[in-house]
């Protein structure tokens, strides 16, 4: 598909005029006001897939308006440090940012619900809840109190469970571990005896190498490979139960958002949806290849022991009970998300799970057509 034509078509539709659909895209662009925005990312350029989410949004908007709406993207540290991206938007330093909502749980645990929470939704469930289950409205009701407008912009899918310097054979091995882990997962891990550490992505490798930390979670094979964790922490665990998906997002300064013409606001909604599809597809394509390379390089793939998984789930429910008892904003959004989770897993286990399970068994048997033709085993 020609993205330029697609995004221009979205801009035309956003004008809301029956006659506008017949106008040529350049004419639409000529009528559009010139807007120049800055977007600060929480990620370095070296993480091309996740950093690319912001670049995709900017590209789609620029193409659809023939450059009339121009968003310049800046990597973490170029304007503000990565973990201060949302603050830079709310105080008006920049008009928008691309970040992960759970970086800001220190302000209020409710922030995390716009990204992911431990044992939360998977990527498909998150998208369904956001766009059809009322999630987007509930989140913007909360983020509006912070002077922000929120739009999802990217998704990693389910993540891996982190790199460990030593093997985890059971729950007892978690006691006393120093682990780099973000969001509410750190609070859950504390209940297992883990000491959570918040460390920026670029500082994780040296911290593992020096033994300052014993383990670290990041994203998944493709991004983790680029940071070289396997060289200093060979045990690679799954699943990342704290990130069954990660919905990246754009925050917009509320005043800046309201100052945009309606068609530009609609176009940003279309562009962020497109960026989400793009990122998830890119991860789904790149992660299998990266995982093979990591294993060939010496990474030791391990599943979390079942007692660790069960204890983590129990601890997460305890954390949510504590937060719900004192935070009405969190409870309102959380209750909506959990109600939908019970429905989506009811449906997914009927057709999706049984189909995927059958096909995965066939893959393990080496029976898939690509394997028969000499492809990957």
Domains of the chain, residue spans: 3-155+246-285
CATH architecture, domain defined by 3-155+246-285: 3-Layer(aba) Sandwich (3.40)
Establish whether 243 is an annotated binding residue: yes
256-290 in b/e form (b: 16+ CB < 10 A) is bbeebeebbbbbbebbbbbbbebbbebbeebbeeb
Judged on CB neighbours under 10 Å (0-12, 13-18, 19+), 162 is buried
CA distance 177 to 217: 13
CA distance 29 to 16: 15
Establish whether 159 is an annotated binding residue: yes
φ, ψ of residue 37 to 5 degrees: the values are -120, 155
CA distance 261 to 320: 40
CA distance 150 to 74: 19
Structure tokens that stand for 258 in this block: 């309201």
Find the farthest-apart pair of alpha carbons in the chain and give their distance in angstroms, rounded.
Answer: 67
Establish whether 217 is an annotated binding residue: yes
pLDDT at residue number 201: 76
pLDDT at residue number 375: 56
CA distance 20 to 4: 17
Cβ 340 vs Cβ 122: under 8 Å: no
pLDDT in tens, the chain (377 residues): 454 444 444 444 444 433 343 334 454 545 689 999 999 999 999 999 999 999 999 999 999 999 999 999 999 999 999 999 999 999 999 999 999 999 999 999 999 999 999 999 999 999 999 999 999 999 999 999 999 999 999 999 999 999 999 999 999 999 999 999 977 999 999 999 999 998 877 789 999 999 999 999 999 999 999 899 999 999 999 999 999 999 999 999 999 999 999 999 999 999 999 999 999 999 999 999 999 999 999 999 999 999 999 999 999 999 999 999 999 999 999 999 999 999 999 999 999 999 999 999 999 999 999 988 765 65
Number of DSSP helices (H) and strands (E) in the chain, helices first: 15, 11
Establish whether 218 is an annotated binding residue: yes
CA distance 107 to 84: 12
Number of Cβ within a 10 Å radius of residue 326: 9
274 alpha-carbon distance from chain centroid: 14
pLDDT at residue number 372: 80
CA nearest to 248, candidates 225, 223, 267, 227: 223
pLDDT at residue number 224: 94
pLDDT at residue number 374: 62
Establish whether 111 is an annotated binding residue: no
CA distance 264 to 34: 11
Beta bridge partners of 35: 69
105 alpha-carbon distance from chain centroid: 15
């Amino acid at each position: 598909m020609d993205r330029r034509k697609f995004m221009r078509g979205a801009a035309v539709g956003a004008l809301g005029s029956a006659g506008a659909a017949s106008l040529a895209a350049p004419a639409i662009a000529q009528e559009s006001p010139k807007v120049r925005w800055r977007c600060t990312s929480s990620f370095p350029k070296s993480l091309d897939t996740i950093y690319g989410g912001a670049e995709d949004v900017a590209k789609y908007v620029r193409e659809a308006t023939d450059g009339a709406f121009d968003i310049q993207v800046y990597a973490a540290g170029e304007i503000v440090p990565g973990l201060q991206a949302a603050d830079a938007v709310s105080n008006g330093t920049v008009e928008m940012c691309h970040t992960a909502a759970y970086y800001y749980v220190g302000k209020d645990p409710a922030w995390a619900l716009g990204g992911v929470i431990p044992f939360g939704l998977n990527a498909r469930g998150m998208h369904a809840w956001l766009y059809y289950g009322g999630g987007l409205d509930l989140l913007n009701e909360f983020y509006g109190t912070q002077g922000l407008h929120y739009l999802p912009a990217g998704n990693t899918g389910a993540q891996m469970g982190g790199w460990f310097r030593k093997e985890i054979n059971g729950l007892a091995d978690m006691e006393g571990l120093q682990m780099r882990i973000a969001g509410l997962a750190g609070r859950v891990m504390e209940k297992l005896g883990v000491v959570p550490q918040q460390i920026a992505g670029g500082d994780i490798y040296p911290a593992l190498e020096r033994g300052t930390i014993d383990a670290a979670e990041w994203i998944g094979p493709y991004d983790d490979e680029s940071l070289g964790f396997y060289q200093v922490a060979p045990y690679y665990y799954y699943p990342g139960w704290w990130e069954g998906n990660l919905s990246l997002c754009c925050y917009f300064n509320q005043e800046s958002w309201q100052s945009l013409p309606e068609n530009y606001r609609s176009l940003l909604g279309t562009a962020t949806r497109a960026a989400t599809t793009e990122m998830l597809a890119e991860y789904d394509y790149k992660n299998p290849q990266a995982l093979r390379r990591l294993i060939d390089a010496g990474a030791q793939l391990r599943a979390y022991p079942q007692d660790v998984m069960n204890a983590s789930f129990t601890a997460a429910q305890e954390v949510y009970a504590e937060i719900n008892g004192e935070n009405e904003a969190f409870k309102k959004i959380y209750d909506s998300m959990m109600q939908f989770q019970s429905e989506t897993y009811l449906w997914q286990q009927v057709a999706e799970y049984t189909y995927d399970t059958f096909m995965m068994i066939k893959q393990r048997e080496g029976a898939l057509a690509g394997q028969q033709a000499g492809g990957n085993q």
